């Protein structure tokens, strides 16, 4: 057989739950239409049961992730950047082919994503300094306030830019010590699942990040209403839907955040205050006496 | 089966003379191989990204203090060399370094942190060969802290506006840094990391008895493609240090070492406008209350004064014991001392390694003799010491008064002086009764007492129910004649920037 | 004051229970030192970095076997199963006569007779769990009967459990009295008291329970039943070793230490030998005072022994499964 006749081996795109790559329990798929209008792949079409399983995995992983030292979490996030950088060409290709991702050059977007993971990796062991305090109360008490992760954060990922939008919403959640369940639009499947593969090989403990592709609008209410989810990043929720989603989230008073970033490369597209959204503050009093 | 003997007798089956290895738990030797290290015959100065010969052509030897074997020849930098280094650093600062975005500077320092992690074993072995500290310490404590220090500070490089919000933090320019021989590589990390993260360039002088790990670090910096001139290293002794301190082209000096040299540096930079931070000596008080977790307190005490042979500025060299528990604590401490292993630092089982130099050994011997002369009671376990090399047995003095030399002067060796106290006030008073103020330890199970005592100790670092804990996020430095300025954490950045008032 | 015959608890007229104070046989108070968990755990972990000389490794491997209580405590234990285990206890490696025997075989009371017969003439002890193992919550007179029956069947060592229910409820005097009664029921057999450290909630409690059990007459204190996790840990071993040492210092009575549960590899065994040896002295590392309760550990020790002997890594099929 000549080289021209060689057949390509096509990847099957599955979900990323609990450190493994299962298909959707629905058995259903959605076509991933690329920028050029062709069908790039079939995305696994996550169901509400997949959301349920992902939340369970994230909740199971939450205590262990929160108990790790901030230094260790920083090392893991830096490792994500290392592996992402190593597979840069895969991501450039994936982003370039993804529909809706026209605002940024693919290479610029991928490099910005790598740099953003590095940026948040450097925050893990500094958040407590910037967001915490020793409070000089008017009495013989030692009083200190510390930031504490809320637990499980649901993320409705922005449709565009695919990789940089996902990075910008996911990294601050992890840097603060939370675990995540991401619901991503099927159109972003290529870079999203490629990122899942990076996470699976970057010392990220199973269940800390869960990535689901599918019909985002169908899935988002299930994530927003799930009572074991403690926070919600609704950046990928459309204006028409946001009210209903926030009503769902109010059922257990999730902390809700919705980015209004327009320039994803700007300095203010990354901030420790994005970590702060999904951090509680715990204040402890202790008397000082002989 | 049990053995019933008269109350108060130690049952016959308990024996604590493990200092002489015999039979089952025979640990020695378990030597780490030194084959991983590739020593050169001679090392040049690291100036402007290259290793170059010193202007005078002169060098000096560095030896292994455990064996007195010659390791390598190291260049001696004179005023000309120091000038070359400072000039290179200034050119790098004005040239590429100052304009490099924080984000890129961060990635370069992260790269260095990771490279250090990769070569940790080699660096640890070299550290032990050159300085005499046990391999278990350099491998398990020093090197992980070195990597962590660079990792933490890398993350600050592009976040300075969060550290100093609204105050437009800027680097100072070129900084001169002089470091000691007790934690050679770790001290290099404590100096380089914040300086580089904040955008300064550096001329660093390692201690004359321990230059090798810094020089290997310079090679690694080269391999990480740091722009030439950003980091420079000039090796030498006191004269090199003086030349660096006096150079007019520096914006800041950072020094870690003895209080007397620190005062000399403060006098030398007076009136020049150079910024200065000093991390000097200490005579740390280790306070043990009667309700302390005694076995863990014993470990903390041992850690506090015998770790790194007591060559630690923040060593807990004065033990203040609440009277009711004094005898029991000292009995447990003596028993623990009997199990300490003094010997070959390259042996993975060694607890206490070699004294760093002949000079230091003489100083320790002299001060210990003064303790005996002044009437303190001395205890040393009966351990065999190797033939050549510089060694001193772990030593504990009891019946010590505040006025004795061993209670007042920094010995910088494995020598502990124990005194008693009755109340918390008395403990605090005695602990503070020194011109030093670097560290202190408090052992009690009562939380409120820890906080009450800590709030009154004139020490830059207070360890409660632990000792000798270090972290890149935790500021370290002293009160009073232990120096000024902090290293580590947000507080440590301040020394390396100028901020809008 | 009324004393309950079944529980041994003393109640004051108003209904409150007098607190238990640790005292030696002659009435002198015994100090129970507080424990800092962070420092304790760090010290125990650091002892794992001890590198052991090759000749010492060989001796420690043999010691690990000589101090082993080879154990089977399953509902599915049949006489056949126990006989096979006893055969292994006598000759751990039939191809290597230099391998020593284990210290004891440990079984449930119903199988004691089988073990006694299978081990006749070997000098290997027969240990029985008794007294409502593992939960310890049958009626107390039933527990004492269980102990007596096991002794009558030929067990010369009895492993009972501490009453954690009473301990955690604060009824320490009752716990003390129960151990005294258990020791009496043992007759000539030696008594090991299992603290079930994983349920006690803190190392302070482990220290206190250790002291209580020793003062009440236990010949050995033991970490765990092996039925829950966490079982033996380096920190617990160090804590209990320090408690044994402190009681010996203060009363002159030295008891033994048994570590059980989760000890699977020779490296684990060495680590524990180092912890215990450095705290209680090398002479303590003897079957009369130190035991490891294990089952799968033996094959790993044999594998390490084979590596030292032959220079090659062994395969698990090189050793019998019993």
**What integer is the mean pLDDT of C196-219?**
97
CATH 3.40.50.300 fits C37-318, yes or no: no
Give the CA radius of gyration of chain C. Answer: 20
Q: For position B15, what pLDDT does the model report?
A: 35
Q: Picking from A38-52, C48-62, C84-98, which range would have the lowest pLDDT averaged per residue?
A: C48-62
Residues 6+ apart with CB under 8 A from B501: none
Residues 6+ apart with CB under 8 A from C319: C93, C299, C302, C303
Element (H, E) at A246: helix A239-249
B290 lies in some domain: yes
Residue-wise pLDDT for B446-460, tens only, equals 999 999 999 999 999
Residues 6+ apart with CB under 8 A from B57: none
Bridge partners of C256? Answer: C220
B334 lies in some domain: yes
**What integer is the mean pLDDT of C217-227?**
97
Q: For position C13, what pLDDT does the model report?
A: 52
Do B446 and B417 belong to one domain?
yes
Question: Would you say B196 and B93 are in contact if contact means Cβ atoms under 8 Å apart?
Answer: no
In this structure, what is the dihedral angle of CA atoms C136, C141, C142, C146, given to the nearest 10 degrees?
80
Confidence of residue C50 (pLDDT cuts 50, 70, 90): confident
Query: In Å, what is the CA distance from B397 to each residue of B209, B310, B345?
Result: 29, 15, 25
Bridge partners of C254? Answer: B3
Closest Cα to residue B376, out of B397, B394, B396? Answer: B397
Euclidean distance between CA atoms A32 and A50, whole angstroms: 19
B31 lies in some domain: no
Do B158 and B186 belong to one domain?
yes
Which 3-state string (H, E, C) describes chain C? CEECCCCCCEECCCCCECCCCCECCCCCECCCCCCCHHHHHHHHHHHHHCCCCHHHHHHHHHHHHHCEEEECCCCCCCHHHHHHHHHHHHCCCCCCCCCCCCCEEEECHHHHHHHHHHCCCCCCEEEEECCCCCCCCCCHHHHHHHHHHHHHCCCCEEEEECCHHHHHCCCHHHHHHHHHHHHHHHCCCEEEEECCHHHHCCHHHHHHHHHHHHHCCCCEEECCCCCCCCCCCHHHHHHHHHHHHHHHHHHCEECEEEEECCCCCHHHHHHHHHHHHHHHCHHHCCCCCEEEEECCHHHHHHHHHHHHHHCCCCCHHHCCCC
Two tokens, residue B453: 């005592």
**Is C227 a residue of the active site?**
no
**What integer is the mean pLDDT of A125-136?**
95
Two tokens, residue C11: 């109640």
Q: Are chains A and C in contact at 3+ CB pairs closer than 8 Å?
A: no
Q: For position B26, what pLDDT does the model report?
A: 64
Do B413 and B349 belong to one domain?
yes
Query: Residue A34, SS3?
Result: strand
Q: Do the Cβ atoms of B152 and A121 come within 8 Å?
A: no
Residues 6+ apart with CB under 8 A from B494: B486
Query: In Å, what is the CA distance from B261 to each residue of B9, B313, C287?
Result: 52, 14, 59
Residue C6 has pLDDT above 50, yes or no: no
**Is C183 a residue of the active site?**
no
From B107, B148, B489, residue closest to A71, measured CB to CB:
B148
Do B254 and B312 belong to one domain?
no
The count of domains in chain B is: 2
CATH number at residue B229: 3.40.605.10
Domain of B373, in residue numbers: 285-464
Q: Picking from A92-96, B341-345, C245-249, which range would have the lowest pLDDT averaged per residue?
A: B341-345
> What are the backbone angles phi and psi of residue B318, rounded to the nearest 5°?
-115, 120
Do B210 and B323 belong to one domain?
no
**What integer is the mean pLDDT of C73-81?**
96
Q: Do the Cβ atoms of B1 and C49 come within 8 Å?
A: no
Query: In Å, what is the CA distance from C232 to each residue of B68, C11, C244, C263?
Result: 45, 35, 16, 7
Closest Cα to residue C163, out of C131, C119, C185, C115? Answer: C131
Residue-wise pLDDT for C138-150, tens only, equals 999 999 999 999 9
**Is B487 a residue of the active site?**
no
From B14, B296, B465, residue closest to C281, measured CB to CB:
B14
Q: Is A78 part of the contact surface with chain B (CB cutoff 8 Å)?
A: yes
B469 lies in some domain: no
Q: List the single best residue of B108, B150, B151, B494 to mutate versus A (max A Cβ within 10 A).
A: B151
pTM for the full model?
A: 0.91
Do B362 and B448 belong to one domain?
yes
Output b/e per residue, A199-234; b: 16+ Cβ within 10 A: bbebebebbbbbbbbbbbbebbbbbbbbeebbbbbb
Q: What DSSP string describes B319-346?
A: EEEEGGGHHHHHHHHHHHHTTPPBS-TT
Query: Residue A213, SS3?
Result: strand
Q: The dihedral of CA A255, A259, A264, A270: what is its sign? A: negative
Q: List the single best residue of A122, A132, A134 to mutate versus B (max B Cβ within 10 A).
A: A122
Question: Would you say C49 and C234 are in contact if contact means Cβ atoms under 8 Å apart?
Answer: no
B33 lies in some domain: no
Q: For position C316, what pLDDT does the model report?
A: 74
Confidence of residue A3 (pLDDT cuts 50, 70, 90): low
Domains of chain A with bracketed CATH: 12-287 (3.40.605.10)
Q: For position B1, what pLDDT does the model report?
A: 34
Query: In Å, what is the CA distance from A204 to each residue of A75, A181, A248, A276?
Result: 10, 14, 30, 21
B20 lies in some domain: no
B30 lies in some domain: no
Q: Do the Cβ atoms of A78 and B106 come within 8 Å?
A: no
B307 lies in some domain: yes
Report, as ranges of residue numbers, the positions in chain B whose pLDDT lies below 70. Answer: 1-24, 26-31
Euclidean distance between CA atoms A123 and A130, whole angstroms: 10
Q: Do the Cβ atoms of B107 and A118 come within 8 Å?
A: yes
């Amino acid at each position: 057989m000549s080289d021209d006749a060689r057949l390509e081996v096509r990847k099957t795109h599955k979900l990323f739950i609990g450190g493994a790559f299962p298909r959707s329990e629905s058995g259903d798929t959605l076509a991933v239409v690329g920028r050029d209008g062709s069908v790039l792949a079939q995305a696994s079409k996550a169901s509400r049961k997949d959301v349920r399983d992902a939340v369970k995995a994230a909740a199971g992983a939450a205590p262990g992730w929160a108990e790790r030292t901030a230094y260790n979490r920083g090392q893991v996030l830096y490792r994500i950047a290392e592996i992402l950088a190593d597979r840069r060409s895969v991501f450039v290709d994936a982003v370039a082919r993804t529909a809706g991702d026209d605002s940024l050059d693919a290479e610029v977007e991928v490099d910005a994503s790598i740099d953003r993971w590095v940026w948040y990796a450097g925050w893990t062991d500094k958040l407590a300094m910037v967001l915490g305090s020793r409070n000089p109360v008017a009495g013989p008490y030692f009083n200190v306030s510390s930031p504490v992760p809320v637990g499980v954060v649901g993320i409705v990922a922005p449709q565009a830019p695919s990789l940089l939008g996902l990075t910008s919403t996911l990294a601050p959640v992890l840097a603060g010590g939370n675990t995540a369940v991401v619901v991503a639009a099927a159109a972003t499947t290529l870079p999203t699942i490629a990122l899942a593969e990076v996470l699976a090989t970057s010392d990220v403990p199973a269940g800390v990040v869960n990535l689901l592709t599918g019909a985002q609008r169908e899935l988002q209410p299930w994530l927003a209403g799930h009572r074991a989810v403690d926070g919600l990043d609704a950046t990928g929720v459309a204006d028409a839907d946001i009210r209903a989603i926030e009503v769902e989230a109010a059922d257990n008073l999730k902390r809700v955040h919705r980015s209004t970033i327009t320039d994803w490369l700007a300095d203010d597209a990354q901030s420790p205050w994005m970590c702060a959204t999904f951090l509680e503050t715990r204040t402890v009093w202790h008397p000082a006496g002989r | 089966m049990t053995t019933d003997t008269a109350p108060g007798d130690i049952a016959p089956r308990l024996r604590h003379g493990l200092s002489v290895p015999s039979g089952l738990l025979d640990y020695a030797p378990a030597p780490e191989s030194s084959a991983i290290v590739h020593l050169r015959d001679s090392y040049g100065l690291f100036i402007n990204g290259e290793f170059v010969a010193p202007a005078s052509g002169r060098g000096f030897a560095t030896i292994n203090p455990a064996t007195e074997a010659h390791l390598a020849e190291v260049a001696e930098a004179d005023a000309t060399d120091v000038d070359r280094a400072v000039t290179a650093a200034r050119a790098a600062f004005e040239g590429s370094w100052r304009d490099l975005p924080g984000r890129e500077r961060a990635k370069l320092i992260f790269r260095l942190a990771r490279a250090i992690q990769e070569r940790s074993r080699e660096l640890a072995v070299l550290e032990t060969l050159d300085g005499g500290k046990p391999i278990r310490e350099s491998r398990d404590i020093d090197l992980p802290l070195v990597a962590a220090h660079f990792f933490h500070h890398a993350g600050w490089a592009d976040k300075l506006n969060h550290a100093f919000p609204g105050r437009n933090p800027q680097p100072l320019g070129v900084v001169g840094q002089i470091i000691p021989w007790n934690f050679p590589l770790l001290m290099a990390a404590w100096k380089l990391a914040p300086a580089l993260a904040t955008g300064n360039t550096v001329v660093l002088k390692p201690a004359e008895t321990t230059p090798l790990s810094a020089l290997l670090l310079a090679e690694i910096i080269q391999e990480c493609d740091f722009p030439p001139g950003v980091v420079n290293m000039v090796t030498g002794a006191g004269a090199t240090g003086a030349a660096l301190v006096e150079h007019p082209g520096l914006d800041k000096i950072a020094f870690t070492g003895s209080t007397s040299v620190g005062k000399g540096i403060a006098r030398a930079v007076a009136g020049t406008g150079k910024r200065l931070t000093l991390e000097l000596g200490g005579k740390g008080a280790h306070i043990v209350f009667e309700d302390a977790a005694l076995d863990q307190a014993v470990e903390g005490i041992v850690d506090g004064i015998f770790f790194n042979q007591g060559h630690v500025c923040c060593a807990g060299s004065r033990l203040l014991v609440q009277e009711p528990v004094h005898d029991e604590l000292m009995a447990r401490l003596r028993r623990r001392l009997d199990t300490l292993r003094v010997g070959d630092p390259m042996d993975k089982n060694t607890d206490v390694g070699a004294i760093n130099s002949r000079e230091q050994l003489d100083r320790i011997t002299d001060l210990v003799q003064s303790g005996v002369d002044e009437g303190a009671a001395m205890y040393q376990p009966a351990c065999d010491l190797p033939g050549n090399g510089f060694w001193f047995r772990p030593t504990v003095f009891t019946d010590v008064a505040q006025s004795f030399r061993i209670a007042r002067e920094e010995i910088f060796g494995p020598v502990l002086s124990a005194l008693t106290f009755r109340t918390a006030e008395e403990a605090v008073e005695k602990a503070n009764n020194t011109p030093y103020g670097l560290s202190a330890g408090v052992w009690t199970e009562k939380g409120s007492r820890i906080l009450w005592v800590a709030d009154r100790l004139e020490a830059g670092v207070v360890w409660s129910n632990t000792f000798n804990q270090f972290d890149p996020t935790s500021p370290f430095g002293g009160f009073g004649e232990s120096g000024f300025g902090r290293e580590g954490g947000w507080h440590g950045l301040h020394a390396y920037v100028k901020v809008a008032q | 004051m009324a004393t309950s015959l079944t529980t041994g608890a003393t109640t004051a007229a108003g209904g409150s229970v007098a607190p238990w104070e640790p005292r030696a046989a002659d009435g002198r108070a015994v100090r129970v030192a507080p424990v800092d968990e962070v420092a304790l755990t760090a010290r125990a972990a650091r002892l794992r970095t001890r590198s052991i000389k090759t000749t010492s490794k060989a001796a420690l491997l043999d010691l690990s076997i000589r101090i082993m209580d080879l154990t089977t405590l399953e509902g599915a234990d049949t006489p056949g199963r126990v006989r096979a285990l006893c055969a292994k206890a006598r000759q751990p490696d039939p191809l290597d006569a230099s391998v020593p025997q284990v210290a004891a075989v440990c079984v449930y009371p119903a199988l004691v007779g089988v073990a006694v017969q299978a081990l006749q003439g070997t000098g290997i002890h027969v240990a029985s769990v008794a007294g409502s193992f593992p939960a310890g919550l049958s009626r107390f007179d039933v527990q004492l009967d269980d102990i007596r029956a096991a002794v009558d069947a030929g067990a010369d060592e009895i492993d009972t459990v501490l009453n954690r229910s009473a301990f955690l409820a604060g009824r320490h005097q009752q716990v003390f009295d129960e151990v005294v009664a258990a020791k009496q029921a043992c007759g000539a057999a030696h008594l090991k008291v299992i603290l079930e450290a994983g349920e006690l909630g803190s190392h302070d409690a482990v220290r206190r329970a250790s002291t209580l059990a020793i003062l009440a007459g236990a010949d050995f204190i033991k970490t765990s039943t092996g039925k829950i996790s966490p079982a033996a840990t380096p920190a617990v071993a160090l804590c209990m070793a320090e408690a044994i040492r402190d009681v010996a210092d203060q009363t002159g009575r030295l008891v033994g230490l048994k570590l059980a549960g989760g000890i699977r590899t020779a490296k684990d065994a060495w680590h524990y030998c180092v912890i215990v040896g450095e705290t209680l002295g090398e002479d303590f590392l003897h079957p009369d005072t130190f035991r490891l309760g294990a089952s799968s550990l033996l094959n790993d020790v044999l594998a390490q022994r084979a590596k030292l002997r032959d220079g090659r890594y062994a395969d698990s099929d090189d050793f019998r499964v019993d």
